[in-house]
A and B are shown apart, each in its own frame.
Chain A
């Protein structure tokens, strides 16, 4: 329940005297059979009202665009929003700050994060083949772009400065670099070195005895410098490459749901339940209920994990019922059941992926971002 939306709870939780607080809580719980009170993140409209009210109480209120950006960044956390409003309202030059430029107090900015990742992946270097423009001559348009140098020159931006662009953690940064490196590295030898460095970074951040020895930026530095070293003289994606987030995050969330269902089974100490017992038990006991966790674990391999548990169960029901049409009792499903085209079309439609788009760095969009 949400305390903003329940009038009963709001009324009852405002006692007149302090010693009535416990009595009201106890009576309220007994009367309404309340076991748990959980709080949701603050809704967007309520967040907007709260921020507007807080901003109007200040000496110079913030603009609407700033409040909107703060609301998006806080993501339902009112304390973060209030801290950011206070941070942006402090200082001598508050009123002369541009409309869309705000100070992010606690969380990484989304755009800064993707600029950072794009800058790492593109790994632009100083090109000595581009001639320096003279003062008195009109710059003529070149017929062909300047060729890339065949040997490594200096990087346009220092890796330490790139890492400082965003407060993204090492774990998240290595996840993003891992997910997108395949598009920037076509040589298998270079790709091997980069993935080995990312694998080493996971050991640094994953093993707790080594994670407390090194600072957190250490793994970011290793990952960034390895990617920028090996992403040299490669075919780069040109226009509007979509940076994918790390798929393992969603996978971990899905696996946690499945793991909790497995733990509810009446068994202790079966380490190889998923790999050994569940696939054979599905065949032996002829389990056709997709809500059974044995059937869910040993489902056909083309039912992908990223559809979510409910949609997977729905498609499994469709798969199970189609061969049984016209039969009196269900029989064992064969392995080579032909996929129905309608189901496959539905599968293609439902596979939606969340992607973020950044521009190609050859358009100098990062430079214009720095100038603003």
Chain B
């Protein structure tokens, strides 16, 4: 049983089964596929359709054979004789992988994969493209060494191998890599576009959703189409006898948990409360929620209850500790630093207003 996000994913760039929004960009991609294709860099927020466009582009390049993929667990050996394993999705024409799974050894993995792909050129160059494609997901998690190693590899094997990078933020891609790729910016769809996509899925699945529930789901998704579709499918499963106008929108339990944690922080500001909050943050971290996502959610739940006078200072402290969160290795230190700073600022403002 496939999820709706995979079942109703577009399979072509244009046409009947084509993508639903950013049609002008889709025609640009179709033109790029017909012409000699450069290296590409897809960037955009989560849930905007970057992976979908990459799959449609590959299908445009190589035909339906690109969908016949297989999972391969590749092994590598680092210069320090440490064995690494990474999962890749491969077809006859392309390889797709996430190099950040191997941590700081992603330089070895990226270079070996590209060299392996570039060693063999295509046999039938008349009926097919003369190159192969390597798709690197989560390219903004690559280390600086891997990105610097990749720029030389891209130039060296440019005839046999094209690289497609997929990332969420351009700021973590180094400038030499950006200048060697054509940047395809995939922005998040607007609310009208999301409503159109969701209405198409609703008609195909023959379910009835009240318009206020649909509007609430679209607002809650914040431009993330994957989240919107998953929410509607979960809503249908939870309300088998039909969706009423005051149905409860399903939310991930860790978000409710973080919201309660923020409420605890606002109630009482003592080191004992910090200890309780710490235990709760351990629970959320243990479920492999990304720490930057936790930090963002925590700040989102704290800011509406802040007095306006201290919002600037709170956001400044949040930015400082989130930066340290990325640099350091123990996220709980920086969470606790932000929470204690927030408590101190909040308490000072409360005592000042009395």
Contacts and interface: CB of A to CB of B under 8 A. Distances in A.
A297 B288 contact: yes
Where chain B touches its partner, the secondary structure class is helix
Given A206-B328, A255-B286, A199 B272 contact: no
A23 interface: no
A206 B325 CA distance: 10
Interface residues of A, number: 56
Where chain A touches its partner, the secondary structure class is helix
B253 A298 contact: yes
B98 A281 contact: no
Contact of B238 (A182, A203, A332): A332
A299 B289 CA distance: 13
A54 B343 CA distance: 59
Interface stretch (A82-90, A91-99, A155-163, A270-278): A270-278
Nearest to A258: B288
Interface stretch (A113-121, A300-308, A313-321, A338-346): A300-308
A57 interface: no
Contacts of A279: 252-254
B282 A199 contact: no
B51 interface: yes
A205 interface: yes
B333 A284 contact: no
Most chain A CB neighbours (cut-off 10 Å) among B98, B138, B332: B332
Interface string B267-278: 001111011000
A276 B337 CA distance: 27
A283 interface: yes
Contacts of B332: 178, 248
Contacts of B329: 202, 205-206
B182 interface: no
A185 B334 contact: no
Most chain B CB neighbours (cut-off 10 Å) among A247, A258, A268, A285: A268
A254 interface: yes
B270 A188 contact: yes
A268 B97 contact: yes
Give the interface residue-count category, chain B.
35 or more
A286 B236 CA distance: 12
A183 B226 CA distance: 44
A233 interface: no
Contacts of A185: 271
Contact of A196 (B272, B288, B341): B341
A259 B103 CA distance: 12
A186 B289 CA distance: 31
A198 interface: yes
A275 B71 CA distance: 24
Contacts of A266: 71
Contacts of A300: 253
B8 interface: no
A280 interface: yes
Nearest to B348: A189
A276 B250 CA distance: 12
B233 interface: yes
A251 B285 contact: yes
Contacts of A203: 324, 327-328
A298 B330 contact: no
B3 A268 contact: no
A135 B310 CA distance: 60
Contacts of B321: 199
A200 B290 CA distance: 21
B333 A178 contact: yes
Contacts of A247: 282
B67 interface: no
A277 B226 CA distance: 9
A248 B286 CA distance: 10
Interface in B268-309: 269-272, 274-275, 282-283, 285-290, 293
B237 A286 contact: yes
A188 B340 contact: yes
Contacts of B3: 281, 284-285
Given A274-B289, A301-B254, A192 B343 contact: yes
A323 interface: no
Contact of B233 (A269, A280, A297): A280
Given A200-B324, A280-B231, 20 more contacts: A188-B269, A188-B344, A188-B347, A191-B274, A195-B333, A205-B328, A206-B329, A268-B137, A271-B137, A272-B293, A274-B288, A275-B252, A276-B252, A280-B234, A281-B230, A284-B234, A285-B1, A285-B3, A297-B288, A298-B253
Interface of A: 174-175, 178, 182-183, 185-186, 188-189, 191-192, 195-196, 198-200, 202-203, 205-207, 247-248, 251, 254-255, 258-259, 262-264, 266, 268-269, 271-272, 274-277, 279-281, 283-286, 297-301, 304-305, 332, 335
Complex A-B, nearest 3 residue pairs according to Cβ-Cβ distance, in ascending order: A269-B137, A305-B286, A206-B329
